Amino acid sequence: MKTTDFDYHLPETSIGQTPAEPRDSSRLLVLHRDSGEVEHRFFRDVGSLLRPGDLLVLNQTRVIPARIFARKDTGGKVELLLLRRRDDLTWEALVGGKGLRVGKLVHVEDGPTAQIVEILEGSERLIKFSEPIEPYFAQVGNVPLPPYIHEKLSDPERYQTVFSKEPGSAAAPTAGLHFTPQLLDALKAAGVKVAYVTLHVGLDTFAPVNEDDPAEHKIHSEWCQLSQATADAINQTKRNGGRVIAVGTTSVRTLESAGQSSSSDAQTANSEYQIESFVGATTLFILPGYQFKVVDAMITNFHLPKSTLLMLVSAFAGREKILETYNLAIQDGYRFYSFGDAMFIE
């Protein structure tokens, strides 16, 4: 298996630049893994693909306005992109600007001072603010859209899911962007269950795999949580013969991380299905050959070439079938990436 096995050509015109309006008017490509059959739907019709007793698992993380501008003592401009909070004052961040060595102070415009305390990989730094930065987000923070989106977003809430609740992500769990409150209400009324996990998305999500052998790639660590209530809902769903449907690769990663950490003794064919709650960092890297323990179907957007996310969906549906389906989607005018259309893989 080589990283180039997960490459494909995407015309720039296929990259979605603005969110669909309304949210559930985006297109939905349905891929049936057993037959290889492909259907073309709209997201608002997703209920016709779900059954009473199925469980939708949504990532309730909320994107923080993590792009912040600052200045050095000399007046030089600095850009900080906050990635992960270590404690009340300390963050891992991508920094843009020259001479940002350990000990260097920068001043957030209309906000606190920050000091470089450690040099991490590349342009990543560990920075410590003079006081918590969160109270200043409303006045100094900007939503960090992915680099391939060039259109200005008029409403920052369109880069949040309607069920976002727990602040902490540098990027949105984009498969969830297609849901409206009305659609969720209709699904629940039809007997579809809904449960929530939290995974705070880092920008490493968008990074391509540069190693020739993807197995040598150092997967990014992300913090996630699967509550006891969600674990109970999953266990009940499995026992009743329903499907666990992950909304987005972040939900997949959380569910499978919990599945990996749960007792293998409870997963035998002769015992009841049992997944346990989970909280902590995950470095789970899902490549073809991985045996899924929790996820029965998934809703996901179309992913970047040579990315860990493309490898994940390839593990679920088969690399050749995914690439074949992606090429079909390109020819049929589907929109790709964060503000693109969706796939339902069952």
For residue range 115-145, list pLDDT tens digits in order. Answer: 999 999 888 899 999 999 999 999 999 988 8
The angle at the Cα of 56, spanning 30 to 38, to the nearest 5 degrees, equals: 5
Q: List 279's β-bridge partners, or say none.
A: 225
The answer on 169 and 58 residing in a single domain is yes
Q: Where residue 230 sits, what CATH number does that domain have? A: 3.40.1780.10
How far, in Å, CA of 38 to CA of 27, rounded? 13
**Residues in contact with 85: Cβ distance below 8 Å, sequence separation at least 6, in sequence order:** 91, 168
Question: Which residue among 142, 162, 193 closes a domain?
Answer: 142
The answer on 72 and 39 residing in a single domain is no
| Dihedral angle sign, alpha carbons of residues 185, 253, 28, 21 | positive
The answer on 233 and 168 residing in a single domain is yes
The answer on 25 and 103 residing in a single domain is no
How far, in Å, CA of 201 to CA of 84, rounded? 9
Domain around 115: 67-142
Q: Three-state SS for 150?
A: coil
The answer on 192 and 114 residing in a single domain is no
345 CA to centre of own chain: 17
The answer on 177 and 107 residing in a single domain is no
Tell me whether residue 294 is in a domain: yes
Tell me whether residue 15 is in a domain: yes
Q: Where residue 128 sits, what CATH number does that domain have? A: 2.40.10.240
pLDDT band at 269 (very low <50, low <70, confident <90, very high): very low
The model's pLDDT over 74-88, given as tens digits with 9 standing for 90+, comes to: 999 999 999 889 999
How far, in Å, CA of 157 to CA of 61, rounded? 13
Tell me whether residue 116 is in a domain: yes
Tell me whether residue 277 is in a domain: yes
53 backbone φψ class: left, alpha, beta (φ>0; ψ -120 to 50): left
Task: Give the whole-number percent of the chain exceeding pLDDT 70.
Answer: 96
The answer on 302 and 280 residing in a single domain is yes
Residue 277, classified by CB atoms within 10 Å of its CB into exposed (0-12), middle (13-18) or buried (19+), is middle
The answer on 249 and 178 residing in a single domain is yes
Which pLDDT value is given to residue 109?
86
The answer on 186 and 273 residing in a single domain is yes
How far, in Å, CA of 196 to CA of 186, rounded? 17
- Is residue 170 within 8 Å of residue 94, measured between CB atoms? no
Tell me whether residue 284 is in a domain: yes
Backbone dihedral angles phi then psi of residue 3, each to the nearest 5 degrees: -60, -35
Provide the whole-model pTM: 0.91
The answer on 313 and 181 residing in a single domain is yes
Tell me whether residue 147 is in a domain: no
Which pLDDT value is given to residue 270?
41
Residue 151, classified by CB atoms within 10 Å of its CB into exposed (0-12), middle (13-18) or buried (19+), is exposed
Tell me whether residue 148 is in a domain: no
Which pLDDT value is given to residue 271?
58
The answer on 257 and 182 residing in a single domain is yes
Question: Which residue among 104, 120, 142 closes a domain?
Answer: 142
209-233: b or e for each residue (b if 16 or more CB lie within 10 Å)? Answer: beeeebeebebbebbbbbeeebbeb
- For range 317-339, the mean pLDDT: 98
> What ranges make up the beta strands (E) of 60-135?
61-63, 67-72, 77-85, 90-96, 105-108, 113-119, 124-129
* Total domains present in the chain: 2
Tell me whether residue 149 is in a domain: no
Question: Which residue among 117, 142, 167 closes a domain?
Answer: 142
